[in-house]
Amino acid sequence: MNKITVKASQSYDVLIGSGLLSRAEEYIVPVLKSSRAVIVSDDNVFPLYGETLKDRLTGAGFTVNEFVFPHGEQSKSHEVLLNLYGFLAANNITRSDAIIALGGGVTGDLAGFAAATYLRGIRYVQVPTSLLAQIDSSVGGKTAVDIPAGKNLVGAFKQPRLVLADIDTLNTLPDAFFSDGMGEAVKYGMIRSKELFDMIAAGNIREHLEEMIVKCVDIKRDVVENDEFDKGLRMTLNFGHTLGHAIEKTQNFCGLSHGNAVAVGMYLITTAAEKNGLINGNISGELKDCLEVNGLPYSVDIPPEKLFRNSVNDKKRFSDDINIIICKTIGNADIVKMPINDFGKLVKTLER
Ligand SMILES: NC(=O)c1ccc[n+]([C@@H]2O[C@H](COP(=O)([O-])OP(=O)(O)OC[C@H]3O[C@@H](n4cnc5c(N)ncnc54)[C@H](O)[C@@H]3O)[C@@H](O)[C@H]2O)c1
């Protein structure tokens, strides 16, 4: 088992390894205040792992209730959130009690936001079961729900008390969601670690999964410790996301999945930066090979002009400038602030 300690406004351990769920009480009980908890999970994940977690905690003297909601992004909504608040109240959950988020990023974000806001904040533990949640969303304390105007527009920073990432749970994760997580893993390599990038680019990543997850979490830890509230460095985690979001939006969120759209977004922004002399060398070539080896896409049939238009009302834009993340070498990311018009010109060079 690997342990990474995140030193944020609330410090906590991220435990990564095999067989952790079947000893969950050993890790969870010490970080909670009372012996009462609500497991929040979706209807795919709870049937797979919910009873094990519940049994371990009840065996340790806990009273445990479960709130299970329909899987999918559409559940990261105020409707489901209100039902969850109602469930917590009906079960007399007090400020001493806790929420345990068991599932992917949707579960973590929803349960985390409930934990941040119910009774002005109660403890919560993340038990991430998707690759994306294990390497990204469960660490760092960003919680949110979606509203009709956009994804993650209502949220809070709320660090968990513990992250328990049992890599065995990834055995049941459908390939499409595994691939989604890999898009984000490539991103970590691009922005912070040539060593991680090379490991992913070599292929057969399932043979080095634990090592890859540990490296990704360690990068996220470092970024969060240096910029918990997303004022600077944390923006580098958005590499590939501006054009990635534009792809998702252009396809009405029914086309490429998020991680796949980020993969294309990383390749497109790197190619555009090379074409405009912002990068020397053939970074895009190495990135393309890495994406291909891992079954990730690097192109999409959308005119660059349309991508540009759909990227400029991204919430990461401030005033008339836009912050773009560019990797001039593999393992190093720069935040480049440029006027929106210049960004438009940059993206449109992808036409040629
Ligand atoms: N808070 C953050 O910092 C942060 C960062 C990145 C992404 N996110 C959010 O994360 C969400 C996406 O996360 P996700 O891809 O994990 O989505 P998800 O939670 O919907 O999980 C993906 C699918 O896999 C299923 N699943 C999860 N674990 C499984 C397992 N072990 N076995 C079988 N099925 C399993 C789920 O039921 C779901 O159908 C988005 O809402 C995104 O906004 C948050």
Sign of the CA dihedral with 62 first, then 66, 71, and 75 last:
negative
Distance CA 1, CA 5 (A): 13
pTM: 0.95
Question: Would you state the pLDDT for residue 149?
Answer: 86
Ligand 1 binding site (Cβ under 6 Å of any ligand atom): 42, 44-45, 48, 71-73, 76, 103-107, 109, 129-130, 132-133, 136-137, 140, 142, 151-152, 169, 172-173, 177, 180
Distance CA 167, CA 46 (A): 16
Mean pLDDT, the chain cut into blocks of 10 residues (352 residues total): 97 98 98 96 98 98 98 97 98 98 98 98 98 97 93 96 98 96 98 98 96 98 94 92 94 93 98 94 96 96 94 64 94 94 94 76
Question: Would you state the pLDDT for residue 319?
Answer: 62
CA angle centred on 108, ends 67 and 157, rounded to 5°: 120
Collapsing DSSP states into helix, strand and coil, what is residue 13?
Answer: strand
Question: Would you state the pLDDT for residue 253?
Answer: 87
Q: Looking at the DSSP assignment, which residues form a beta bridge with residue 68?
A: 41
Nearest ligand 1 atom to alpha carbon 170? 31
Question: Which of the listed residues 177, 213, 237 should we mutate to test ligand 1's pocket, taking the one with most ligand atoms within 8 A of CB?
Answer: 177
Nearest ligand 1 atom to alpha carbon 151? 43
Tally the residues of the chain: 352
12 and 31 in contact (C-beta within 8 Å)?
A: yes
Nearest ligand 1 atom to alpha carbon 130? 28
318 Cα to the center of ligand 1, angstroms: 28
Question: Would you state the pLDDT for residue 268?
Answer: 98
Mean pLDDT of all residues belonging to the chain? 95
Question: Would you state the pLDDT for residue 281?
Answer: 87
108 Cα to the center of ligand 1, angstroms: 8
Question: Would you state the pLDDT for residue 22?
Answer: 97
349 Cα to the center of ligand 1, angstroms: 34
